[in-house]
Structure 1
């Protein structure tokens, strides 16, 4: 199935969860936020299975000075 992840198409296996996608793409376990179809998804809901064509945004926290 095809998802749009951070503005780029990504081909992933069917019935992938948000948690699996984040892990498979190599994002860190902490310091990130995920939005699916423009809605921020709490970490407690990362077991949600993504639908074909979903738009996923993964944002990492950055410290600056």
Structure 2
């Protein structure tokens, strides 16, 4: 909803950066949901034994 609001109500050019290459380094610590399910970010799946998740995140970049 935040992206939709930015794109519709402002003149800012915002892109969503792909963080998949960075997440490869964390695959032995975090379980990330299939990227095909999420167009604008990543979802770290919950892990009760390690007491974390779920966490959704994305990286936005303003371009000129």
Q: TM-score range by the shorter chain?
A: under 0.3
Give the number of the structure whose residues are more often helix, by fraction: 2
Give the number of the structure whose residues are more often strand, by fraction: 1
- Find the structure with the greater CA-based Rg: 2
The higher-RCO structure (CA 8 Å, 6+ apart) is: 1
Normalised by the size of structure 2, how large is the TM-score?
0.27
